[in-house]
Amino acid sequence: MKEELRFAFGKNWTHFLTHLTDDRIHEASLSLLDFLNIDNLKNMSFLDVGSGSGLFSFAAKMNRAKVSTIDYDTDSALCT
């Protein structure tokens, strides 16, 4: 079987989450709403493809969205 050559992003996200704070979560939430130019995600669906750390999925959930996520990297999926 041929070895798959790719960067294991999930290992980095696992380390990133050890430094996650309430302030960073709050900033991600504000950043998401600003990017989407809305006040909240109430009654909306949020699809996070390549969820990585899961931070923006979490921010969307905090803003009352129905969230679905996917990531190819197993470690990233576990982080989410």
Instruction: Give the 3-state DSSP-derived string for 3-50, with helices as H, strands as E and coil as C.
Output: CCCCCCHHHHHHHHHCCCCHHHHHHHHHHHHHHHCCCCCCCCEEEEEC
What is the value of pTM for the model shown?
Answer: 0.85
Task: Write the pLDDT tens digit of every residue in 45-61.
Answer: 999 999 999 999 999 99
Domain ranges within the chain, ordered by starting residue: 9-15+23-79
SS3 51: coil
pLDDT on residue 1: 64
Measured N-to-C along each axis, helices 55-62 and 22-36 cross at an angle, to the nearest 10 degrees, of 80
